[in-house]
A and B are shown apart, each in its own frame.
Chain A
Amino acid sequence: MSRERFKNQFRNLIGNPFNVIVLITLIMLFALIVIPLLAMVQNTFVVAKAEVMRKTIPGAKIGDYTLWYWKYLLASPLTKTILWVPLRNSLIIGAFVTVISVPLGALMAWLMVRTDIPGKGLLSALILIPYMIPSWCKALSWMTIFRNPSMGGYGVLYSLGIPVPNALASGFVPIIIVMTMHYYAFSYIMASGALRSINSELEEMGEIQGASKAQILKSITLPLILPSILSATIMTISKSIGTYGVAARLGGNNPDGTPFYVLATRMKAFINDGPNAVGYAMSILMILLAAGTIVVNQKLIGTRKSYATIGGKGTRSNLIPLRGAKWPMLIVITVFLVVAMVMPVFFLVMESFQIMPGAGYSPDNLTLYAWVGELQSAPHPSFNQNGLFRNSEFGRALGNTVKLSLIASLITAVFGQFFGYITTRGRGKWYGNAVEQLIFIPYLMPGVAFSAIYFSMFSQPRLGGLIPSLYGTFTLILLVSIVKHFPFASRSGSSNMMQISVELEEAATINGAGFWRRIRSIVIPLAKNGFLSGFLLSFISIAKELDLIAILMTPKNYTLSFLAFDYSKEAMPQVADAICIVIIVFILVTNRIADKFGGNVSKSM
Chain B
Amino acid sequence: MTELIADVVVIGAGPAGLAAAIKAKQEGAARVMVLERDRELGGILQQCIHNGFGLHLFGTELTGPEYAFRFIDEALKEGVEFMLDTMVLEIGADRTIIALNENRGMFRIGAGAVVLAMGCRERNRGAVTIPGTRPAGVFTAGAAQRLVNMEGYMPGKKVVILGSGDIGLIMARRMTWEGAKVEAVLEILPFPSGLTRNLVQCLNDQGIPLHLGNTVVKVHGLRRVEGVTAAKVDEKLRPIPGTEWFIPCDTLLLSIGLIPENELSRMAGVRIDPVTGGPVVTDDMETSVKGIFACGNVVHVHDLVDNVTMESRIAGEGAAKAATGRIARGGSVNTLAGENIRYVVPHRLGLKNSSERDTTLYMRVVKPVEKVRVEVVSEGRLLHSKSERVLKPAEMLVLKLPKGKLEGLGDGKEVEFRINAD
Please determine whether chains A and B interact with each other in the same assembly.
no
A interface residues, Cβ below 8 angstroms from B? none
B interface residues, Cβ below 8 angstroms from A? none
